[in-house]
Structure 1
């Protein structure tokens, strides 16, 4: 390979740079692709092409590369996949924070498997997900893209996604790209691209842990570095992370790709490099293999760096070999094309919509309910109010197609930083569309007909109260008022959540809090449905509304799921993956804090507020009450390297079927470094009929209970471990304790990333009989 051909393999090009008038342009290809190409950026996500057109353009690009370039090397086509494939006709799944609220990794695997199928059908090979950032500051706009605050839950959801996307073999799979490596969600002030201040032990145990799990347990094949810096070193130039830890310690063999424009950011944003040449040298030397979304610093500037010896030819060859190996493993050399006729029956297939609906149903978290829910079928009229009640666009996350098209339009108009960083051709056809997706109003009216009286009330961010009178009148005349409130997700200035849409307040944006007060003042019972990318809502809303349902950003089937839960057709079973602050003044507030973490000092609370969150991690109500009848440990002493079993019997004491998530926590009170007051180590979802019970059996290896000791090596210490089970981080039962014993001659216990969970239903107990735990 010539140097130009090698550099081309480390570069990329926007799909729209190869399209003219909505069609593939051979003339543009001869310029952009003359030496080959590593990645094509978003054939689906950066255009308004329909699925069959995406496949046609992808085939045309590959045909040019195979037949018109000297080496005939196909390209990897990558797409955004935060809530499904970011494509015009693809299934829009719930945003990741909602998926995490299911506490059901298998559903995330099914989601990713659907994404894999749709991507392969359209000719795509790499998905920019999962987001493995642990987030404990919901001011950060990208909270919605994450799986929450707990490293174990994030790791379980992330590993499941990687398995689903990559499949059994990359020959039929899609490369998963875990991001943003690492600590991006711990930014200073909750601000995008801001530094993260993470001491080494916290970095290892919390923020690196999900990535390590994905690499070592799930075979992750790609990592995207973060925009931010750690301890003075921007992540794209951090060789200790990208080479020493990721490749050296964990044995990662895949590719590291840059976040968009981030190699140049080493110069233009961080001022860490004096020019593009130095930025390219620093990034490649640190271990950043591929520059996205378009070749910039890895073009002439990297060539210049090679010429002057700032980076070696051997480092260039290593990066190129990793890209080429992925292309071989994806089967691109044998089969670079896709069947354009098969796309229509694959993209947004009915089975994928069913997966989206099942996730949406289980993602909804009932935060509060004084008995007003479920709404009774014959209980009179419903006033449906709020800016998110009749707008299906607001149900979608920031990297859905409908949301991201808006950012392309704004970039073409040169508004904001995105417009400065990328040039959108004037001839690019961009169409806004939610493709007829139903709104909450549509879903409720389909069930209740003219019993629904709708009034918008206000917009998400506008300050006009002109619609208040109509909303108040509707509420006053109704038997119950349903307020659908919250966010508008996206990357533009009209969005209130999403990438670079950070907030200094967690109250509802615009005048929505005032709308709540006005409607509550009518005396009509109020149900608040929060369609939002982060915990939101002030004291008045959460204290005065009769019920509060957190819907997150539930995707294309979200309206149906919300209606089903409100009417009791589906029993809500979602659990919070992130603690819900009372206000920004509490941040950070998370369950796994240290004993000295300010929750138990002399006076305890703040002067003006409790220190406890509004709703704790793991919280979520349902319409069927569950109790833990029995929980046992199988032993009180275990040898390091072995494990313990915990068996929990739960009963549905209500009169309707329901689901519950049993959560297992441990505490190490005797470690040689301070440990969190609780650590999640297992969870299992059970579905139980009324009056019946089920068992959840956890096996916890001792290798899962270690930490990084004084010497910063992973260790499983001998000593006392306390075990708790429950339905949330503050509603749990102390099961007992066991002691880990050791042997001076025994080798170091290896880290284990998860135990096993088994769920089984028990036979119905005879009426009036006492349950004694017999099987």
Structure 2
């Protein structure tokens, strides 16, 4: 009997071997992605190779009819040689239109993928990329807080939970690549894309981004069926452009670029193995990043060892002709970009439209084309597109927007709020004592999702959440107070401040507030005020960070009533809220908290949750205080004339709690070390208040004297801990050579002997400190 089993097993194995030996190597899933891609590349025509470098978005009309349905006859005519990518398949009626429901998108994806696999010569599957900055930008997807809010959690484990869920949702409905995360460092928050970033610090962003990419991609050579390929945005320098204007030149020297702006990219490539990188629009070192071979080849590939795909930002190659004025020829712009290192053009063929002619004429070498296509194919193999190309349409609706994902979105909103001020423990309010509460302000009855958002299945405003929670036990009043903009549509080209009579609305709000025991102001911005300005007819940057359109007048009128009043602020960037902070005893910074934001704000108001967020970006006192980032050089921030304060309104790392924390016993395992040795830093942290709370313990280092100027302090570690009342914990960090090193005057990465100030505390401006000496 056993012999018979062995015989059958041998026959089966022989059959498997025979099957693999009869098929092309690229279809053999036992081989590595590189070997499979190399074999497939050897079988491809020039036309097929060129098509892999192209993407379709507005030009999806090549394969869809006017109803948005797949048209095989049309596709067979114009896409017989395949195509590399499709952009945002979730959109029902073209770019930036209403999204498809999950099952609809899954069905459409399967039909399209069936065509490319079964109806083209080599059966090369198409890849679909989606926007998923804080949840997929489409119908029904779970919507999480915007990245600047997620960064306020200082929680790497939360990033894992969030972006594992996002990856599963994207993959379930037919997407395999995401254009995320944004790891740009923002140093001018007038920039409309500030909300898309994770703040101003390279260390914090690196740690959170590495966690996000690992959540997106996993850690296997072949990605799991619920994983997607991440795309780092936007390589170069995007967050400190001239005047805070999107895509303006980034006039930053190479030392600062390497020490600050490039650090998250390097970490995400070398630690998390990000599969794609997107070049920024801006000039970097005087050359647009899209055609900057020093940036894309010398630094990204040769120095850092990046082996993945470099993609253009949307229409960035066209910008070489129209915006940067480098060449009058779109084909020449394409050749410049390709030769600089852009493997695939998004979102539609512009500069790469005639790439085949550029190869045939010798402007682009066949070897360079093969190298780019090889990278694209490797990604497709790693994603399993050749082996498991289709999705289960019946599962899409159960995965997307599920209750478990909603619970993570609520937890994220809870941890993202930052308590900026809380004099005399004004918050939380006692729900048993408040009889009548007035919610006043333009954001009280709005669920603000932020840019790059779709329409989630669930969304709720603070007013709605409060009525749901407490409508039967207290009288809840509401007045808008002022209207901010003529419309709130992130996709609309033209946005203007509202011209309605705010004086009458303020008077009405005062009348409502007079009836209340407590007033809660909901002020700040909406998503249309500070946003991505992607074209001259779709602007998004602001010259000011002040509260606009009568909000300060509203605040003065309400606080003049002398009612107990606090404020919740929604915004994308840090706003200049000095007048508000001076007028009320408690202020909560809420950013855009996503679909569960209303519940989180209501629960924080009455103490059902204890805020634990810390600022990932400094708050300037006025717009004139920009830049306000904390890790400045010693020669900066000397002070202003006439008594104006040069310090920020709220420092990087600031964030209060409904409890208090006491720090003590800062110590080093050694006071003197050699440059290649490590030292441990320890400090005791005690919950000295009366309720459970979470605290982010922060480690900063200053090189006291150095051969080139160094920042006054730099974040080098953080740990988020949870403590019961009266509980203490010893928090320990390890300082190594990397934490003490910098680029010397010859741009060598060194650890220089000398003294270092070691600072640990609750914020960048509230630390205990000790000294460490490094000897040769």
Q: How does 1:481-560 map to 2 (within 5 A)?
A: 481-489=519-527, 494-499=528-533, 500-560=539-599
Give, in whole Å, the separation in 2 of the partners of 1:28 and 1:153. 49
Q: How does 1:375-394 map to 2 (within 5 A)?
A: 375-377=429-431, 378-392=433-447
Q: How does 1:236-315 map to 2 (within 5 A)?
A: 236-300=290-354, 302-315=355-368
Structure 2, unpaired ranges of 5+: 1-43, 486-497, 534-538
Give the equivalent residue in structure 2 for 1:23: 69
Give the equivalent residue in structure 2 for 1:95: 146
Contact 1:13–1:32 (CA<8 Å) still a contact in 2? no
Give, in whole Å, the separation in 2 of the partners of 1:626 and 1:454. 36
1:435 to 1:121, Cα distance in 2 relative to 1, 3 A: closer
Q: Aligned with 2:377: secondary structure?
A: helix
Contact 1:83–1:397 (CA<8 Å) still a contact in 2? no
1:675 correspondence with 2:710: yes
Give the equivalent residue in structure 2 for 1:321: 374
Structure 1, unpaired ranges of 5+: 403-433, 743-775
Q: Aligned with 2:686: secondary structure?
A: strand
1:22 to partner: Cα distance: 4.1
Contact 1:194–1:229 (CA<8 Å) still a contact in 2? yes
Give, in whole Å, the separation in 2 of the partners of 1:496 and 1:252. 33
- Provide Cα deviations, 1:613-634, integer angstroms capped at 9, x if missing partner: 0000000111101110222111
Give the equivalent residue in structure 1 for 2:489: none
Give, in whole Å, the separation in 2 of the partners of 1:308 and 1:23. 38
Give the equivalent residue in structure 1 for 2:32: none
Contact 2:254–2:285 (CA<8 Å) still a contact in 1? no
Q: Aligned with 1:19: secondary structure?
A: coil
| TM-score scaled by length of structure 1 | 0.88
1:28 to partner: Cα distance: 3.8
Give, in whole Å, the separation in 2 of the partners of 1:715 and 1:366. 39
Give the equivalent residue in structure 2 for 1:718: 753
Give the equivalent residue in structure 2 for 1:4: 47
1:309 to partner: Cα distance: 2.2
Give the equivalent residue in structure 2 for 1:415: none
Give, in whole Å, the separation in 2 of the partners of 1:509 and 1:546. 21
Give, in whole Å, the separation in 2 of the partners of 1:28 and 1:506. 50
Give, in whole Å, the separation in 2 of the partners of 1:32 and 1:526. 64
Give the equivalent residue in structure 2 for 1:644: 679
1:442 to partner: Cα distance: 0.9
Give the equivalent residue in structure 2 for 1:751: none
1:454 correspondence with 2:478: yes
Give, in whole Å, the separation in 1 of the partners of 2:342 and 2:612. 41
1:436 to partner: Cα distance: 4.7
Q: How does 1:35-74 map to 2 (within 5 A)?
A: 35-45=81-91, 46=95, 47-74=98-125
Give, in whole Å, the separation in 2 of the partners of 1:628 and 1:108. 27
Give the equivalent residue in structure 1 for 2:237: 183
- Provide Cα deviations, 1:269-324, integer angstroms capped at 9, x if missing partner: 11112311110111011100010011221122x23322332221111111111001
Q: Aligned with 2:629: secondary structure?
A: coil
Instruction: Give aligned pairs, total.
Output: 699
Give the equivalent residue in structure 2 for 1:339: 392
Contact 1:482–1:527 (CA<8 Å) still a contact in 2? yes
1:53 to 1:608, Cα distance in 2 relative to 1, 3 A: farther
Q: How does 1:413-432 map to 2 (within 5 A)?
A: none
Give, in whole Å, the separation in 2 of the partners of 1:611 and 1:31. 65
Give, in whole Å, the separation in 2 of the partners of 1:84 and 1:638. 46
Q: Aligned with 1:189: secondary structure?
A: helix
Q: Aligned with 1:356: secondary structure?
A: helix
1:57 to partner: Cα distance: 0.9
Q: Aligned with 1:43: secondary structure?
A: coil
Q: Aligned with 1:24: secondary structure?
A: coil
Deviating more after overlay: 622-631 vs 500-509: 500-509
1:525 to 1:32, Cα distance in 2 relative to 1, 3 A: farther
- Provide Cα deviations, 1:582-632, integer angstroms capped at 9, x if missing partner: 1110111111111111x23xxx33436210000000001111011102221
2:516 maps to which of 463, 467, 478: 478
Deviating more after overlay: 211-220 vs 462-471: 462-471
Give the equivalent residue in structure 2 for 1:104: 155
Give the equivalent residue in structure 1 for 2:261: 207
Give the equivalent residue in structure 2 for 1:171: 223
1:689 to 1:128, Cα distance in 2 relative to 1, 3 A: same
Give, in whole Å, the separation in 2 of the partners of 1:237 and 1:350. 45
Q: Aligned with 1:687: secondary structure?
A: strand
Contact 1:11–1:291 (CA<8 Å) still a contact in 2? yes
1:518 to partner: Cα distance: 1.6
1:563 maps to which of 602, 609, 623: 602
Contact 2:698–2:717 (CA<8 Å) still a contact in 1? yes
1:354 correspondence with 2:407: yes
Contact 2:660–2:687 (CA<8 Å) still a contact in 1? yes
Contact 1:586–1:611 (CA<8 Å) still a contact in 2? yes
Give, in whole Å, the separation in 1 of the partners of 2:728 and 2:480. 44
1:681 to 1:643, Cα distance in 2 relative to 1, 3 A: same
1:621 correspondence with 2:663: no
1:226 to partner: Cα distance: 0.4
Give, in whole Å, the separation in 1 of the partners of 2:78 and 2:685. 62
Q: Aligned with 1:467: secondary structure?
A: helix
Give the equivalent residue in structure 1 for 2:466: 444
- Provide Cα deviations, 1:642-671, integer angstroms capped at 9, x if missing partner: 211111110111111111110000110122
Give, in whole Å, the separation in 2 of the partners of 1:537 and 1:190. 16
1:145 maps to which of 196, 202, 222: 196
1:53 to 1:311, Cα distance in 2 relative to 1, 3 A: same
Give, in whole Å, the separation in 2 of the partners of 1:545 and 1:278. 59
Contact 2:331–2:353 (CA<8 Å) still a contact in 1? no
Contact 1:653–1:691 (CA<8 Å) still a contact in 2? yes
Give the equivalent residue in structure 1 for 2:21: none
2:630 maps to which of 580, 591, 611: 591
- Provide Cα deviations, 1:461-484, integer angstroms capped at 9, x if missing partner: 214313212211111221111111
1:511 to partner: Cα distance: 2.0
Contact 1:463–1:511 (CA<8 Å) still a contact in 2? no
Give, in whole Å, the separation in 1 of the partners of 2:362 and 2:79. 27
1:37 to partner: Cα distance: 0.8
Give, in whole Å, the separation in 2 of the partners of 1:42 and 1:609. 49
1:31 to partner: Cα distance: 4.4
1:496 to partner: Cα distance: 3.5
1:472 to 1:537, Cα distance in 2 relative to 1, 3 A: farther
- Provide Cα deviations, 1:181-216, integer angstroms capped at 9, x if missing partner: 111011000000100011111000000000000011
Q: Aligned with 2:230: secondary structure?
A: strand
- Provide Cα deviations, 1:561-581, integer angstroms capped at 9, x if missing partner: 111111111111100000000
Give the equivalent residue in structure 2 for 1:766: none
Q: Aligned with 1:624: secondary structure?
A: coil
Deviating more after overlay: 693-702 vs 75-84: 693-702
Q: Aligned with 1:389: secondary structure?
A: coil
Give, in whole Å, the separation in 1 of the partners of 2:204 and 2:660. 24
Give, in whole Å, the separation in 2 of the partners of 1:112 and 1:463. 40
